[in-house]
Amino acid sequence: MMKPVRILGIAGSLRRGSYNRAALRAATQLVPEDATLDVFELDGIPAFNQDEEQNPPAQVTEFKRRIREADAILIVTPEYNYSIPGVLKNAIDWASRPYGDSAWSGKPAAIMGASIGTIGTARAQYHLRQMFVFLNVFPINQPEVMIGNAAERFDAQGNLTDETTKDFIRQLLRNLVDWTRRIAQSQGV
Ligand SMILES: Cc1cc2nc3c(=O)[nH]c(=O)nc-3n(C[C@H](O)[C@H](O)[C@H](O)COP(=O)(O)O)c2cc1C
């Protein structure tokens, strides 16, 4: 039996009824048998201040530890004003600092996102992919899981009810696990 691939899931919304947090919860139920998916909540991470980067708050130290411990990352992002929410960008920035001590470098990753609009976070996802270039994160390209019209795909309790979306998430996680193993193999891990 191969060692399970440990995925760390991060949602870019703090909202109680968040569709993106709900999509991440759904993903924890759709993860392949040869992987695990744990969630890190971004609540309580203060605004980034470069004066503090050598001595970061405890939540940031813990966040970086969890990223480093994970074999792969799943980011579930809302779209705010055609980009990713500040809360997610802030957390990404903290974990990338100080220079030379980024927790992101070399991590395989997958992206998905849910929006109440029709475009399903496409613009936010492409901004995230742009950040991955500098962060040296290795995202999988497909499937692109852009959950548009989210209000129609979750029930009032925040359960994902749309079977097509579930299939996309299953495939995304399958591809992430395979991609992570390929990268580990190429590094002789
Ligand atoms: C500040 C703000 C900006 C938003 N901008 C966009 C946007 O650019 N594109 C979009 O599809 N939805 C946008 N929305 C609507 C979000 O899709 C919607 O609020 C969604 O529920 C947020 O994700 P969540 O449910 O995980 O909190 C915006 C919402 C907020 C609060």
Q: What is the pLDDT of residues 39-59, one digit of tens each?
A: 999 999 999 999 999 999 999
Q: How far is CA 82 from CA 30, 144, 165, in A?
A: 28, 17, 22
pLDDT per residue as tens digits for the range 99-108:
999 999 999 9
The reply to whether the predicted model has a pTM over 0.95 is: yes
CA nearest neighbour of 71 among 182, 152, 171, 163:
182
d(CA 129, CA 85): 14
Determine if ligand 1 sits within 6 Å of the CB of residue 46.
Answer: no
Strands 72-76, 138-139: pairing is unpaired
pLDDT per residue as tens digits for the range 106-134:
999 999 999 999 999 999 999 999 999 99
User: What is the whole-number distance in angstroms between the Cα of residue 117 and the centre of ligand 1?
Assistant: 8
**Torsion of the alpha carbons at 122, 124, 125 and 129, rounded to the nearest 10:** 140
Determine if ligand 1 sits within 6 Å of the CB of residue 18.
Answer: yes
For ligand 1, what atom is nearest to the CA of residue 78? 23
- The Cα diameter of the chain in Å comes to 47
Determine if ligand 1 sits within 6 Å of the CB of residue 80.
Answer: yes
Band (187; pLDDT cuts 50, 70, 90): confident
Q: Tell me, what's the pLDDT at 149?
A: 97
Degrees to nearest 5, angle at CA 82 with 88 and 44? 20
